[in-house]
Amino acid sequence: MQWIDMRSDTVTQPTQAMRHAMAHAVVGDDVYGDDPTVVELEALAARLLGKQAALFVPTGNFGNQLAIFTHCQRGNEVILGDDCHIVWHETGGAAVIGGVQLRTITSNKGVLDPDEIEARIRVGQDVHWPKTGLICLENAHSNGRVIPLDIMQRTADIARRHGVPVHLDGARVFNAATYLGCNVQDITRHADTVMCCLSKGLAAPVGSILAGSAEFIARARYNRKLLGGGWRQAGVLAAPGLLALTEMTQRLAEDHANARYLAEQLAGMPCIEVDLDDVHINMVWFRFLADIDVSELMAALAAAGIKVNPPEAGRMRLVTHWQVSREAIDRVLEVFQRVLSD
């Protein structure tokens, strides 16, 4: 059976072109700085993201935590949204690795009010206060929504006025740029540093990018080694990353169109509620309007060769990617229709 996996876009497998590139990659020892494929990937990523330099890191989680660790001193305070990935899904790493305090703001579906951010920046030298070391934003948000550029611009202006750096968790920043119809630099210019994943919708098997100023990346490279993230012959992993940035970024609109189709079809089913206004990228979130037998639904999906995560707190998520075709989506929809109509 050919499985359809819609649990996340982290499940994407490398394309045949990526597998070929891995097998034929020219490699060196990256800790010495002489892996030419890694050097090429980092230069390309920096150029695309509009930053002076970039660093190849194992994961998005690693990249975000490395950014916090490099930006901040121990005891600093980091301002960020209460529903962001760093707070919810990075195992408390900011406390363990960076030794920082997280000061969260209630977000509106991922959007942070710039005035609320400014109100939380520590101004002055009060002996009782921690210092504001960083502001973290997320775009696209892990709820699938894209943050408007004017909000990012206002936040960046506030941060620069107070001398506080901004880090962007841009795990899916190329999805955000696709949705907005803009160059990715129109998003990243509002942050001092940015992390983007190569291993989600861009389909590379491993790796993320952390980009920023040359001075910042030099310090981050040292800290990457400190955290055990120094690569050796990493060109075999960087090679598919090059294709992720050059080829896979160009086809994300297909995933978005498939997600929109899926959302519209689900919305037409009588006991499913989908907020179509929230379907910005390749994620479809929905809720059931009636009690359903979750075990029956999950068993039916598995029997049809479909992998999904079960509902959590009444909501369910399906994610499209390059290995989910329109025909595959119709197969998924048929199972939902059959189970929910029983």
Position 27 scores a pLDDT of 98
Joined together, the tokens standing for residue 103 give: 């000061």
214-226 and 60-71 helices cross at what angle (nearest 10)?
A: 110
Position 120 scores a pLDDT of 98
Q: Taking a C-beta distance cutoff of 8 angstroms, is the pair 195, 64 a contact?
A: yes
Position 313 scores a pLDDT of 83
Joined together, the tokens standing for residue 31 give: 């800790």
Q: Which fold has domain 16-249?
A: Aspartate Aminotransferase; domain 2 (3.40.640)
What does 151-191 look like in DSSP terms, one character per residue? HHHHHHHHHHHHT--EEEE-TTHHHHHHHHTS-THHHHTT-
pLDDT digits (tens), the chain, 342 positions: 689 999 999 999 999 999 999 999 999 999 999 999 999 999 999 999 999 999 999 999 999 999 999 999 999 999 999 999 999 999 999 999 999 999 999 999 999 999 999 999 999 999 999 999 999 999 999 999 999 999 999 999 999 999 999 999 999 999 999 999 999 999 999 999 999 999 999 999 999 999 999 999 999 999 999 999 999 999 999 999 999 999 999 999 999 999 999 999 999 998 999 999 999 999 999 999 988 999 999 999 999 999 999 998 889 999 999 999 999 999 999 999 999 987
- The full set of domain ranges for the chain reads 4-9+251-341, 16-249
Q: Taking a C-beta distance cutoff of 8 angstroms, is the pair 152, 139 a contact?
A: yes
Joined together, the tokens standing for residue 160 give: 């620069």
252-267 and 173-180 helices cross at what angle (nearest 10)?
A: 80
Q: Which fold has domain 4-9+251-341?
A: Aspartate Aminotransferase, domain 1 (3.90.1150)
Q: Evaluate whether 4-9+251-341 and 16-249 have a shared fold.
A: no
Q: How many CA atoms lie within 13 Å of 59's alpha carbon, on the beta-carbon side? A: 9
Beta sheet of 208-212, edge-to-edge order: 53-57, 208-212, 193-197, 166-169, 132-138, 77-81, 101-105
Alpha carbon distance 120, 111 (integer Å)? 16
Alpha carbon distance 268, 176 (integer Å)? 26
Residue indicated by tokens 């660790």? 69
Q: Taking a C-beta distance cutoff of 8 angstroms, is the pair 196, 208 a contact?
A: yes
